[in-house]
Structure 1
């Protein structure tokens, strides 16, 4: 991020002050922009080929695909000049795809584990000697649906911040996970129905979970 800020500041100086000192055929701005870009690309590739933690992969992809190209074009003067230069991507396509797959696999596993933990907490709530909360006079068990939707939405948003294509791919993966989660929820609920008929709040818990099904529609 610091390097990107430095590049932006330096290129602004080139556009406003240095470019005018040379004949147009010298392509001063293009020369500066390409030198900076090539250096960044070299550093990005070096980092990409090293051992990166999941959070570092996310930061690198976000910076290469989103932050770097967009931030450079926030200034309309720079945007106009950069439009005349073909800088390309900071990462080779094959390396970018490799990192994206690592990120997607990791994020999918993270969300899947999060959903599993949410369900475990919900099952533990059923076992507590507490009556489910009421909403508008009806028993509800909304926390599970809220956590599930938030987990999926947060994952989608993070991926979309890298690029629309990565966001779309993760969305596709996560929506495939949802039926499996709902099946686990159903199995756990059926197990509770069969094994916990003597629970003090058996019927309210059943009603709360039946009402909760509407939140997943």
Structure 2
């Protein structure tokens, strides 16, 4: 228990050593037939992610739209705005449930520091993350900059956002990876994708971005857990 507490204290100290990020980050992933754009906003303990994919041959054609996610970083909760149904589901951060899945499937994550590199114009540290579940192995290359401050959530890849509860986030922070992800490259069997940070706005976002619009019906499922096997 003392070792775990010491590790947590170290992680929080790492975050505290840097200024908190405030503003807007825009990411892009170009796939063979579509382009995914993800926009992350943060102001204090409030964060938001919008994401949608458009066709590469006709950018007016929307291929997929993710439900808007509103994060309460202090309460460790995420509100999913389902624009098609008009429902707003308050859920525990998915990282908390991901921990349960990792434990049940005996999954492991390791992070190795590769070194300092300049990527997309930012001074970064390059990390390599290996995930293993049974015989399945995935590899993710991550470049993180400390020059923009520390966000409460790290945008890690396509529709993938690591809250502090994710084991991947815990391992990355323990390796010194607190900061903004500038680039992420995923290499796994049958799949290789690259995500790039393409725009940064450090002006504090308007508070209305983090509020649930009145047309949504709130449903609180924040106590949801994964049934024990």
Classify the TM-score, shorter chain.
under 0.3
Q: TM-score by structure 1 length?
A: 0.20
Using the size of structure 2 for normalisation, the TM-score is: 0.19
Q: Which has the higher contact order (CA 8 A, sep 6+)?
A: 2
Larger radius of gyration, structure 1 or 2?
A: 1
Q: Write 1 or 2 for the structure with the bigger share of strand.
A: 2
- The structure with the greater share of residues assigned to helix is 1
